[in-house]
Chain A
Amino acid sequence: MAGSPLVHARGLVKEFGRLVAVDGIDFDVQRGEAFGFLGPNGAGKTSTMRIVGCISPPTAGTLRVLDLDPVADGARIRAKLGVVPQQDTLDSELTVRENILIYGRYFGLARADLREKAAQLLDFVQLSERADDPVEPLSGGMKRRLTIARSLVNDPQVLLLDEPTTGLDPQARHLVWDRLFRLKQQGASLILTTHYMDEAEQLCDRLVVMDNGKIVAEGSPLELIRRYSTREVVELRFADRPPEPAELRVDGLVDRIESLPDRILIYTEDGDHVATALHERGLETSSVLVRRSTLEDVFLHLTGRSLVD
């Protein structure tokens, strides 16, 4: 068993009628790894997750999940997966605790064991106090945590998380990240999709960047940043019309310039130097920000457009 990947995909395709959602992708996810799909909405991330989760058959390609064939052994694979879907699918007719109990029953787990398991999981996601409350009044962050707790009820070998923190406020996001990070430290394998680069940077050991159903880059967050971006970025915003990019070239120090609708990004190894030089030239800006490169910059470079929209 050791060495065989958790998920092995070659030439994976998913079509809905004439729409090609996933357009021939290859990837492997190893045991104990946190693997991410980064991309904008509509890139094919969710379709890929549904295929791996054995709730959507691929149109073409080879796929092995936990060394089994998803089409023939879907139920056996699903028994070993934990799924956190993009939209919460909590059972609104049941309480917080009952949601975990019944979900465990769907896996055929014994009722006696589930009592204790539910208590542990609710404690883990800090929902013990709400155990006997209905689900509906819970905040978005709490629902997300409950969904995560629910997905752990069968001690899954892999956790599939589709945009785990989309729509949550910053505090709620950090709490979710913290729990996912702990799971990772305990040796869990995670597969997640996101369109937040900070999420990908924090959680993923390795990730693929998806665009239009294709994988356009693969590597660790750091590798990707090194390969596709510079060390630092200067972000300029202008009150009036921005200048032509050519006017912003600072002798030999600027690697690349991207013009976005609301700002101009200057890619460079030394952001402070560039910012100072532009200031000395008397460039009129409404704001100047020097920051280190992120996956957003990688994405921008690979696809020519911004991730967050």
Chain B
Amino acid sequence: MSAIAAVTAGGARFLLERNLMVYRRIWLVIFSGFFEPLFYLFSMGFGLGHFVGHVNGISYASFIAPALLASSAMNGAIYDATNVFWKLRYAKVYDAILSTPVGPADVAVGESVWAVFRGLIYSFGFLIVIAALGLVHSWWALLALPAAALIGSAFAGLGVAAMTYFRSWQDFELLALVQLPMFLFSTTFYPITVYPHAIQWIVRVTPLYHAIQLLRTLILGSPGLPQLGDAAYLAVLAAVGIVIATRRIHRQLLS
């Protein structure tokens, strides 16, 4: 069966329903990811920012706030996607689901959408906070939430796909090894012009760089045509992630 034909995903909503059922009881856990970007904002943005002063003509806090929003969208989506590993390898949640009419594409899409949904709760909260702190500089910021959903989709899709390759809990160290440098070096804390030319090109390839570009231009009020490219790049990653995850779940559980 071709992957495209398999992506019908009408049953994805049942995966969402299942996760809602689970989190209804432990809803407080949902808010755990909300504080991380706030801590960074206060320590780096205001603390360190006191010594840094201005970057590209704006306050340091204003400069990093959109990037922290982007990384929290990334971290939230990936964090939730990691639950998929447990459900896939240990809890056998999908084995049960796949013996019903629900298929692998439903699982991949459902879990990704759930991860995005959870990430959006963080993004929404953080956006309100930075708006209240006067770090939002444009009405373009209204598009920041859909943009955060797109960022979440890209990382959720990739995250769910990655989980199908993980063999043991040790593999999560590899994930941290990718996630942390991406967070630190994808122009979160300083402009890309800091890097020599060759390195700049490496940074430009990372998905988080495009996520940050997208949110930073929207929140600071200077989006342009390149942002369509950023959005397209993230959309392609989301689609690729879903297709890979669907195929892998199919191959692993329906063989």
Contacts and interface: CB of A to CB of B under 8 A. Distances in A.
Interface of A: 16, 53, 55-57, 75-76, 78-79, 81, 83, 85, 87, 89-94, 98, 101-103, 105-108, 154
B24 to A, nearest CB: 10
B193 interface: no
B159 to A, nearest CB: 19
A102 B102 CA distance: 12
A107 B254 contact: no
Contacts of A90: 96
A102 B21 contact: yes
Contacts, number: 62
Contacts of B17: 102, 105
A117 to B, nearest CB: 15
B101 A94 contact: no
Nearest to B95: A89
Contacts of B91: 91-93
B100 interface: yes
Interface in B82-114: 91-93, 95-103
Contact of A106 (B14, B95, B253, B254): B14
10 contacts: A16-B255, A55-B254, A57-B254, A75-B103, A79-B100, A85-B99, A89-B95, A102-B18, A108-B11, A108-B14
Nearest to A92: B91
A105 B255 contact: no
Contacts of A83: 99
Contacts of A79: 100-101
Contact of B11 (A16, A89, A94, A106): A106
Nearest to B19: A93
Interface in B220-247: none
B98 A91 contact: no
B21 A106 contact: no
B101 A107 contact: yes
Interface in B1-60: 11, 14, 17-18, 21-22
A98 B254 CA distance: 25
B93 to A, nearest CB: 6
Nearest to A72: B1
Interface in B138-157: none
Nearest to A151: B99
A104 B98 CA distance: 13
Contact of A56 (B18, B101, B254): B254
A92 B14 CA distance: 17
Contact of A55 (B11, B14, B92, B98): B98
A78 B254 contact: no
Contact of A91 (B14, B93, B253, B254): B93
Contacts of B14: 102, 105-106, 108
A106 B92 contact: no
